[in-house]
Amino acid sequence: MSLPITDQPVFAYRPPYGKHLFDDMPALAAARDAGIDVICLSPMNTANSLGDPYSPYPTIWKYLDTYDFAVLEQQINDILAVHPRARFITVVDLNSPPWLARRLSMDSFYEASNCSLSKEWKDATTNYLKAFLDYCEKHHAERMLGYIIACGRTLEWIEANIRAAGTHKSAFYPEWCKQQQRELLPIPRTDEIYKPAHGWIYDPDSEKHVSQWLYYVNYLTADLAIHFIRCAREHVRPEARLGLFYGHIHHIHPSGQMDCERVLKTAPPDFFIGAACNSNPNMGSSSGYICTLKMCRRYGIGFMHECDRITSTGNLQVNEHIALSGGIWVKTQNSVEDCAMIRRETALCIINRFSIWWFNIWGHAYDSDETKAALKNAREVWDRYMPRSTGSAAQTLLVFDPENNYRINVGTPNLQHLAWKFRQELYTYGVPFDTAAWTDLAATDLSQYRLILFQNPACLDDQRLAFLREKVLRDGRVVVWLCPPGTVFNDQYRPDMAESISGNANNSASCAISALPDAVSVSCYDSRTLGIDQFRELAGMAKVHLYGDKGNAVMASREFLMVHRKDPGQARITLPVSAKTITEVFSGRHIADNTAVFTDSFSGPDTRLYHFTQD
C-alpha cells in the first residue's frame, strides 16, 4: 500500500501559533480554496522559547491522568468550520505543562534527557501520549493522517542543557556505563567542556570523559524518542504516519539528535521534519533543507520541509511586548519576493521528493492576492508534477559524521561558521548538493558524485582510512576536507595524520590542493575561506556539471531543474543532456525543443522550475 508522506509526498498547511490562529483564519480559507486539504493541528499544552503559549486554547493535560478532550474537540471544530475537507497531521506535545515542571522541578523543554530518567515524569507523559492517541483514533481516525511526537526545546528534541549534569543524569550515569560496558569516567566540569586541551578538539585520552558524556546525553534523548515511538505504534492504526522533528545532524553541536541512527534502527518514525528557517531564506539562495538526505533514503523514511518563511506581509509581533527581527526571522521585501519564495520552496520539494507544509507561524504570511495565487498555483503544479520526479541528481555530496561531533568544540570561530553559515553560503553557489552521514557511504553508489565534502572528518582509524582510499579517493574525484582529517587517529591525538591523509600541511591558512594517485585532495580547514569562485573552480575541476553562471541558484533531478535568481537578467542554462521538450511549469510556458542549451529572462526575483522530456 502506498502511504502519504512516506511514499507520496504531501502538500499541507500549518495555521499560526497562539492567538494568531484566530487572527488569521482567512489564511486557512485560502488554503482550502487552493485545494490544500492536509492541515497541521497543534493542540499544545506548553509555551514557546519566548514564553508565549503555543495554543490559544486551554490546555488538554490538566494534571496526572486528568485530560480535557473537549478542548481538542473545539480546536477540530474550529478548523472544520472553515475547512470541512481537512485531514490532520496532529502534533502531540509531550513537553512538561507548567504544573508538571513545577511539581518535578525540571522542564523537558530544556532537559528532556534528565526528565527521561524520572519515572514519575516518564509515566505521566507516556500516559498522556496513550490517552491522546486513543482519543483521536477512537473519535477522529478518518481525519488523522498522522501524528508528530514532539518534545524538547522548541518541540525539536533539542537538549538545551547538554553541558549540565542534572540530578537524574548524574545518578544514572554509572549504571549506563555498566550497561554499555564502558569505563566509568568522571562527569565533566563545564569549563572542561568549553575549553578542550587542543582548542577545537578534545584529547582522546585526557578528555575522553567529555566526549563520552556528550554521547551519553544524546543517547538518553534517542532512548526517549524510541520509547515514545514504540508506545505510539501500539495506539494508532498501521497506516497512521508518525513523525519527529529530529535527525538534524548537520549542526556540529551535539545537542540531542546525534544518536538518530539508533532511533532509525530501533523504532523508526515514518518521517522527519525540519524547519526551513534553519536554511538560507535570502533571495538568490536555493533555500536548502536540514535533513540528511541519504540517511532518510537508506531507512525508507520521508522528510517534511516545514516552510516557516516570513513573507512581506507576515507578522513578527508575537505579542504586545515581543517583536522578532533579524537572525532567522528575515522577511521577504514585497509580493514579488513572496511569490519567488513560494515557487522556490515548492520546486525544492518536488525535485527532492519531500513533503511540505506551509507554516504561517505568526500569521498573515498569505494576506496578499499575489501570495494566495502563488500558493494555489504551487498546489496545482505539485499535483501534476510531483509524481514525475525521481529525486536529486546532484553530483556534489556533503558528508556529516555525528559521532565526531562528540569530539569537537563548536565554540571556535571557524567551527561556528562550519556548523551554520557554511551551508547557508553553499546554497548560493549554484552547485546542487546532497547530504549524507558517514554511515551512509558504504551503502551509497558514489559514482554519481564528482565532488565530496567532509564536514567533520576529525576522528578516523585504520578501517575508515582504508574505506576512504578504496571507495572515495578514486576515479579522479575531488575531495574537500573541512577540518583536519584524522587529527584523532586510532584514538590517539595525531595532528600529523592530516598531512598524511590529505597531502596538505595541517597548518594551511587557506585552501590547499594536492594530487593523490587517483583523486584531488583539497584541505580547507577554515570554511570561511572557501568562497563562491574557488568552490565553483573546484566543481569544474571535478567535472561537476554547472548549469549556469554565478547568480543562478539551482537544484536538479533528471526530470527537473530549478533556477532561482535575485537579480534581473538573462539566465543561460546548459543541461547535462539534450531534452526533447523543455517546459516552465509554474507559467506553463514552452521553452525549447531538442536542445541542451536555452536562455530565459528574469525581470527580478523569481523561481523557474523546468521540466524535461526525453521521448
On whether both 196 and 168 belong to a single domain, the answer is: yes
469 falls in which pLDDT band (50, 70, 90)? very high
Domain-embedded: residue 391: no
Distance CA 3, CA 27 (A): 27
Q: Tell which of 244, 268, 292 closes a domain.
A: 268
Q: What is the C-alpha to C-alpha distance for residues 433 and 422, in angstroms, rounded to an integer? A: 13
**What is each CA distance from 125 to 44, 148, 433, 595, in whole angstroms?**
13, 15, 40, 60
- A 10 A CB-CB count for 456 gives 26
560 and 435 share a domain?
no
For residue 409, the one-letter residue type is: N
Residue 511 lies in a domain: yes
Q: What is the mean pLDDT of residues 236-246?
A: 98
Element (H, E) at 534: helix 532-541
Strand partners, 569: 602
pLDDT band at 307 (very low <50, low <70, confident <90, very high): very high
Query: Are 12 and 145 part of one and the same domain?
Result: no
Residue 29 sits in which domain range? 1-35+270-386
Mark whether 108 and 249 lie in a shared domain. Answer: yes
- Percent of the chain at pLDDT > 90 equals 91
In this predicted structure, the answer to whether residue 1 has a pLDDT above a threshold of 60 is: no
Pairing of β 512-516 and β 519-523: antiparallel
What DSSP letter does each residue of 267-309 carry, written as one string? S--SEEEEEGGGS--STTS-----S-HHHHHHHT-EEEEEE--
| pLDDT tens readout for residues 374-429 | 999 999 999 999 999 999 999 999 999 999 999 998 888 888 899 889 999 999 99
In a domain, 417, yes or no: yes
Give, in order, the Cα–Cα distances in Å from 101 to each of 46, 71, 316. 10, 21, 28
Look at residues 541, 561, 596 and tell me which one is the last residue of a structural domain.
Answer: 541
Q: Which residue, 27, 86, 30, 608, is CA-closest to 376?
A: 30
Q: Is the pLDDT of residue 509 over 80?
A: no
Q: Is the same domain home to 27 and 7?
A: yes
Residue 547 resides in a domain? no
471-493 per-residue burial string, b: 16 or more CB within 10 A, e: under 16: ebbeeebbbbbbbbbbbbbeeeb
Mean pLDDT within 428-433: 96
Q: At what angle do helices 108-116 and 119-140 cross, to 10 degrees?
A: 110
Q: For the domain that residue 258 is a member of, what is the CATH number?
A: 3.20.20.80
First to last CA, the chain: 30
Residue 255: what pLDDT? 87
Nearest of 435, 431, 432, 428 to residue 282 by alpha carbon: 428
Determine the Cα–Cα distance for residues 304 and 289; give it in Å rounded to an integer. Answer: 10
On whether both 16 and 60 belong to a single domain, the answer is no
Average pLDDT over residues 423-445: 96
Side-chain-side CA neighbours of residue 190 (13 Å): 6
Q: Is the same domain home to 257 and 277?
A: no
Burial class (CB in 10 A: 0-12, 13-18, 19+), 430: buried
Spatial separation of the C-alpha atoms in residues 587 and 61, rounded to whole Å: 48
Residue 546 lies in a domain: no
- Within 10 angstroms of residue 521's Cβ, the number of other Cβ atoms is 20
The pLDDT value recorded for residue 585 is: 99
Question: Looking at residues 530-538, what average pLDDT do you find?
Answer: 97
Compute the distance between CA of residue 19 and CA of residue 539 in angstroms, rounded to an integer: 48
What pLDDT is recorded for position 54? 97
Same domain, 235 and 281: no
Same domain flag for 219 and 318: no
User: Where residue 507 falls among pLDDT bands split at 50, 70, 90?
Assistant: confident
Please state the pTM of the whole predicted model. 0.97
In total, how many domains does the chain have? 4
Strands 66-67 and 569-584: unpaired
Long-range contacts of 181-188 (CB under 8 A, 24+ apart): 182/212, 185/209, 185/212, 185/213, 187/213, 188/213
Query: Rounded mean pLDDT of the chain?
Result: 96
Q: pLDDT at residue 589 above 90?
A: yes
Those residues with Cβ within 8 angstroms of residue 415's Cβ, 6 or more apart along the chain or in another chain:
200, 252, 408, 409, 483
As a whole number, mean pLDDT of residues 593-614 equals 97
The secondary element (H helix, E strand) that includes residue 561 is strand 560-565
